Structure 1
């Protein structure tokens, strides 16, 4: 599709849309082997996927033109653009998703990383994944597409994993060497790097020593889990007010947990404590809301609304100082909570 000043030519083109008529296999025809049945459907699906990608890139370019035109001369602070979307029943998030896709396509094309003819070899999700990847990965994916290879999101992720394994400074040399000779699958290295990037340098070094000493798949899995727990611990600890108030040395406590082999337990404890603090805050705000609603409803009820007053009587205690709830099932207990406000 190319832009044209001739409205008649464009209108004529719209009279002959792309022919997407397929002869799909009959799902009730038992004589068709399962592999052939799935292969025929896969081919049709790929055609739709390619058509969908190129259509959405152009939709993004069109929407971008509408938006940019209003930025230059519009006076409604985006009102015209929003009205344009409303008339076509397009959500704002969908519109900007298409614009981002168009921006990604144009960037890849303008930088010379991708030839226009190669776009047809991408699935839509693979193209989006490529646009988010590092420039080196974009280059490798584009080269594969220009050779005629079918590019799916799986291929993009595989190339990204291989590049991460070979280039990340967070991986010690013995690990990168094993990745280079394919004795360590790259798919185990990318998640590890992703988790290690969240950690302080001191913790990165301790994990690097661990995988350098035993560069095998089991160690990679174990260290990836450990790095994930470390990141979770540090993130949660920063949100726990009780730790901040007591000025606990989080880093030293973490090192001690690692040394005695109870990092997972410590990380879970900190995470659960963070959640209960947030739950208490949410409970308090809900409790205040119930108080206000009960007061307003009390004013509007009386002898003429006996059922409404009965509902209020049942629910009003949830706005009182002491709340009570029955736990059924295997835990048949009565739980009482008391809220006391202090300045």
Structure 2
């Protein structure tokens, strides 16, 4: 009976839904200063964003309930849930995006990081950013929202960067001190920490020594670039078969490249080698596919299909062991490739 009353109350409430009604500035009124026009539009946008957030959290909870019900009584493949989505013209990716948002909201609420009454103070992007942040950042954001502060993605990102700059074990104390008095902006420190986290400890040490010796903005930017290149080098080198087959000591080669100041060149070389090997593998698979399709088409062609046979004869050489193609304008040079398969 209580359930029926709740449904009736909800139905009554929907007869007079909350309406969003804004007095937007006239875009053709040149008497409105540009700053005032943008401020009025921004206020209206933020209201819609917050309204949208709460709606999508509830959509996610509804979808989660439908999905979980299907797991209990469905066919085990989620067919009923997918049919439910199809009837409402909801894509699977959109549905799981809403479910993820609902899961994040419920986790933050259960852990006490955010109060239900303060969700209205978040923009949607700010809430998603908060859900991905460190627990300490979530706590700070939740306290600000509970006080009534309007939380945007910018505030969440700024708090996350400040926390990273003050708490990371990868940063020397001299850098943390400058981050505390804002002589080194946290927005430049956070990217460095993210890149250093991808590196082995042996490479972290060298960067730490550099920024400890010169804790200034230029050194920070240079260290970030170096850490990013190191990470790319190490990732690419692990994918290059030529290096693994010859047992090249990648770490030692990296140290030598740093010592003589050609890290960027070495990193680019390894990255290009990785891409070349991938292209060779893709070329081989495409070459096989062309040959197989040409063989199938040859069986179906004959005197009754002269134009189709002409098309086949023109393309068929690309499936042979020796292929040639002209490049440049109009034909500066001819490139021949020979593919040999070995078991």
Question: TM-score normalised by the shorter chain: which range applies?
Answer: over 0.9
Q: Which runs of 5+ in 1 are unaligned?
A: none
**Counterpart for residue 201 of structure 2:** 201
Instruction: Note the C-alpha offset of 1:68.
Output: 1.6
- Measured in 1, the distance between the counterparts of 2:205 and 2:5 equals 62
**Counterpart for residue 322 of structure 2:** 322
CA 1:252/1:179 → structure 2, altered by over 3 Å: closer, same or farther?
same
**Counterpart for residue 301 of structure 1:** 301
CA 1:331/1:314 → structure 2, altered by over 3 Å: closer, same or farther?
closer
**Counterpart for residue 236 of structure 1:** 236
Instruction: Note the C-alpha offset of 1:93.
Output: 1.4
CA 1:239/1:76 → structure 2, altered by over 3 Å: closer, same or farther?
closer
Q: Which runs of 5+ in 2 are unaligned?
A: none
Structure 1 stretch displaced more, 72-81 or 194-203: 72-81
- Measured in 2, the distance between the counterparts of 1:284 and 1:55 equals 50
> RMSD in angstroms over aligned alpha carbons?
1.5
- Measured in 2, the distance between the counterparts of 1:133 and 1:247 equals 40
Instruction: Note the C-alpha offset of 1:331.
Output: 8.6
Instruction: Note the C-alpha offset of 1:23.
Output: 2.2
**Counterpart for residue 42 of structure 1:** 42
Instruction: Note the C-alpha offset of 1:46.
Output: 0.7
**Counterpart for residue 114 of structure 2:** 114
**Counterpart for residue 145 of structure 2:** 145
Does the CA-based 8 Å contact 1:326-1:334 persist in structure 2?
Answer: yes
**Counterpart for residue 254 of structure 2:** 254
1:274 aligns to 2:274 (yes or no): yes
1:126 aligns to 2:126 (yes or no): yes
- Measured in 2, the distance between the counterparts of 1:125 and 1:311 equals 53
1:221 aligns to 2:224 (yes or no): no
SS of the residue corresponding to residue 55 of structure 2 reads helix
Does the CA-based 8 Å contact 1:4-1:10 persist in structure 2?
Answer: no
Instruction: Note the C-alpha offset of 1:131.
Output: 0.3
CA 1:100/1:328 → structure 2, altered by over 3 Å: closer, same or farther?
same
**Counterpart for residue 54 of structure 2:** 54
**Normalising by structure 2, what TM-score?**
0.96
How many pairs were matched up? 341
Structure 1 stretch displaced more, 3-12 or 61-70: 3-12
SS of the residue corresponding to residue 85 of structure 2 reads helix
Instruction: Note the C-alpha offset of 1:320.
Output: 1.1
Encode CA deviations 1:249-285: one digit per residue, 9 max, x unaligned.
Answer: 1110000000000000000000000000000000000
Encode CA deviations 1:49-99: one digit per residue, 9 max, x unaligned.
Answer: 001100000000101111122223334432211111111111111111111
SS of the residue corresponding to residue 334 of structure 2 reads strand
**Counterpart for residue 72 of structure 1:** 72
- Measured in 1, the distance between the counterparts of 2:73 and 2:318 equals 56
